[in-house]
Amino acid sequence: MKKTVFVFGTLTYTQRGREALRRRGILTKIIRTPVQYRNGSCGYSLLVINRVDESVEILRAMNIPVQGVYPADLE
């Protein structure tokens, strides 16, 4: 399983992203942004498992800005 962290600038964008992906059948989880990825973000991100490329395209099409997409080395 490929786990990826999507970092957003605001909690609102994080929530909108979660909802947009949920409507397309992509399960996500809102998490605290890992320290190494915070860089001016709101402090919350989406954890996406698999379907990363598809998720990027969906968020782009919905005009939901993503600050960064990073591997989720959360262990």
53 in helix, strand or coil? helix
Model confidence over 12-53: pLDDT tens digits? Answer: 999 999 999 999 999 999 999 988 888 766 789 999 999 999
* Count: domains in the chain: 1
Q: How many Å apart are CA 45 and CA 54, to the nearest integer?
A: 17
**Per-residue model confidence (pLDDT) at position 10:** 92
**Per-residue model confidence (pLDDT) at position 51:** 94
CATH number of domain containing 58: 3.30.70.1940
**Per-residue model confidence (pLDDT) at position 1:** 81
Q: How many Å apart are CA 43 and CA 40, to the nearest integer?
A: 8
Domain that holds residue 61: 3-71
